[in-house]
Amino acid sequence: MNAIISENKLTDNSVKKLKTANVGAVGRYLGDPSVWKAIDAKEADLIQSAGLNLFSLWECGRVKRGYFNRKNGRYDAEDASRYARESGQPAGTPIFFMVGHDPLPNEFAVIRRYFQAVKTSLSHYRVGVCGSRRVIECLAASGHAEYFYQITDCLPGEQSEHAHIYQHRYPDPLDGFPFYFSKIIKPGPLWIADSSQNTKLSEKSQTYVVQPGDTLFRISEKLGVDYRMIKRINRLPSNDVYPGQKIQLNKRKRTFPSPQRAPKYLIKLGSRGENVRFIQHALYLKADGYYGIKTEAAVKAYQQSHRLHPNGEVDRLTWQMLF
């Protein structure tokens, strides 16, 4: 099957041109949908409704040699799984994490540590890697990735026996944008639901009863709910759960309307008012309208988990992430 990677959002016109060019699958980037490069649920539906298949990629510090470490692996896994769910990617399908440079021999140890953290932290999805032949061979041997997309522009190398997707042509323009042409050579990388793993919460699913052998992280992975959200909703003091325990899964319904616009001022320790109540409600705190130490600590934790500057103050960026 012919495939392409697109760094631009696709339109009706570009999808029609891809079908005319005998393209059967499209690779798109996960991320904040407001960014020009990232896919959203609407675009995913457009692509699939036209009869094209999808696979997803995550790109953050792919060409920065110092980027690959355990901390960034954990952050990338958490962000990628969240954006994958928001875009409608079925559970059990792979996300391809980009390594956009051909590493030096002394770099493979840190890349393995990065992907070890990705594999440990990735919720609901399988780990794929998009990189050179040497990267693929390294991670296939270590077992830190299951799916492999071999790229060849500026990264020479014979086709790996592990490759599921193989880039065979340098970017060509189509519909005014460059596309990276590839071939799907093994089954598995496309967005096809795995019924054995795709455990989605129904609208009526409010609670989960902890089973023998369950851990908070296993429940999080099974149900596709961030473990930090489970802790916050249920006010759990630690990560410990016990068999028979009932835990709340869904967010509480708001008891007052969402804010209509972002404030023009910084909200921080000592602030009071309706906007403080909005923040407290979003973070599952008692909405008393006073920005105290507990609210500041909750904001810091939220900022850290969303890769914002954890200063405990709600600026415009933190506000936009919350709402």
Q: Are residues 168 and 25 in the same domain?
A: yes
Which amino acid, 227?
A: Y
Highest mean pLDDT among 59-63, 127-131, 205-209, 210-214: 127-131
Alpha helices in 88-226 (DSSP H): 108-121, 133-142, 216-223
**What's the pLDDT score for residue 169?**
60
Residue 13 lies in a domain: yes
Q: 298's torsion region: left (phi>0), alpha (psi -120 to 50) or beta? A: alpha
**What's the pLDDT score for residue 204?**
44
Instruction: Mark which of 184, 218, 234 sits at the end of a domain.
Output: 184
**What's the pLDDT score for residue 145?**
94
Output the CA angle 231-233-234, nearest 5 degrees.
65
| Percent of the chain whose predicted confidence (pLDDT) is above 70 | 82
Output the CA angle 119-124-125, nearest 5 degrees.
60
Which helix (H) or strand (E) is 13 found in, with range? helix 12-20
More confident residue, 197 or 175: 175
More confident residue, 183 or 177: 183
Residue 260 lies in a domain: no
Quote the CA–CA distance of 182 and 53 in Å, as a whole number: 13
Q: Are residues 17 and 121 in the same domain?
A: yes
Q: Are residues 87 and 230 in the same domain?
A: no
Q: Which two tokens stand for residue 128?
A: 């794929």
Residue 47 in contact with residue 56, Cβ under 8 Å?
A: no
Residue 296 lies in a domain: yes
Q: Are residues 241 and 103 in the same domain?
A: no
**What's the pLDDT score for residue 210?**
84
Provide the number of structural domains found in the chain: 3
Which helix (H) or strand (E) is 2 found in, with range? strand 2-6
Q: Are residues 179 and 280 in the same domain?
A: no
Per-residue pLDDT band at 202 (split at 50, 70, 90): very low
CATH number for the domain spanning 216: value is 3.10.350.10
Please give the average per-residue pLDDT across 292-311, as a whole number: 83
Mean of pLDDT over the chain: 81
Quote the CA–CA distance of 148 and 130 in Å, as a whole number: 6
Residue 259 lies in a domain: no
**What's the pLDDT score for residue 321?**
77
Per-residue pLDDT band at 242 (split at 50, 70, 90): confident
Quote the CA–CA distance of 201 and 119 in Å, as a whole number: 23
Q: Which residues contact 68 (CB under 8 A, 6 or more apart)?
A: 61, 99, 107, 110, 111, 113, 114
Residue 267 lies in a domain: no
Cα–chain-centroid distance for residue 110?
21
In three-state secondary structure terms, 200 is coil
**What's the pLDDT score for residue 106?**
85
Quote the CA–CA distance of 251 and 256 in Å, as a whole number: 14
Residue 57 φ/ψ, nearest 5 degrees: -130, 150
Domain of residue 143: give its range.
2-184
Q: Are residues 96 and 158 in the same domain?
A: yes
Q: Which two tokens stand for residue 34?
A: 């407001």
Quote the CA–CA distance of 53 and 50 in Å, as a whole number: 9
Map tokens 């696979």 to a residue. 55
What is the per-residue pLDDT across 1-43, written as a single tens digit (0 to 9) for each? 889 888 888 989 889 888 888 888 999 999 988 877 899 988 9
Quote the CA–CA distance of 35 and 43 in Å, as a whole number: 13
Q: Are residues 156 and 244 in the same domain?
A: no
Please give the average per-residue pLDDT across 229-247, as a whole number: 79
Q: Are residues 179 and 216 in the same domain?
A: no
Please give the average per-residue pLDDT across 174-203, as a whole number: 63
The DSSP string of 42-60 is HHHHHHHHTT-EEEEEE-S
Q: Are residues 178 and 282 in the same domain?
A: no
Per-residue pLDDT band at 307 (split at 50, 70, 90): low
Q: Are residues 240 and 292 in the same domain?
A: no
Residue 262 lies in a domain: no
More confident residue, 58 or 225: 58
Q: Are residues 240 and 147 in the same domain?
A: no
Most distant CA pair in the chain, distance: 63
Residue 196 lies in a domain: no
Map tokens 């068999």 to a residue. 243
What is the per-residue pLDDT across 95-148, written as a single tens digit (0 to 9) for each? 999 998 878 888 899 999 999 999 999 988 899 999 989 999 999 999 999 999
CATH number for the domain spanning 164: value is 3.20.20.80
**What's the pLDDT score for residue 33?**
83
Residue 160 in contact with residue 184, Cβ under 8 Å?
A: no
Residue 152 lies in a domain: yes
Q: Are residues 26 and 155 in the same domain?
A: yes
What is the per-residue pLDDT across 58-109, written as a single tens digit (0 to 9) for each? 987 555 667 889 999 999 999 999 899 888 888 888 999 999 887 888 889 9
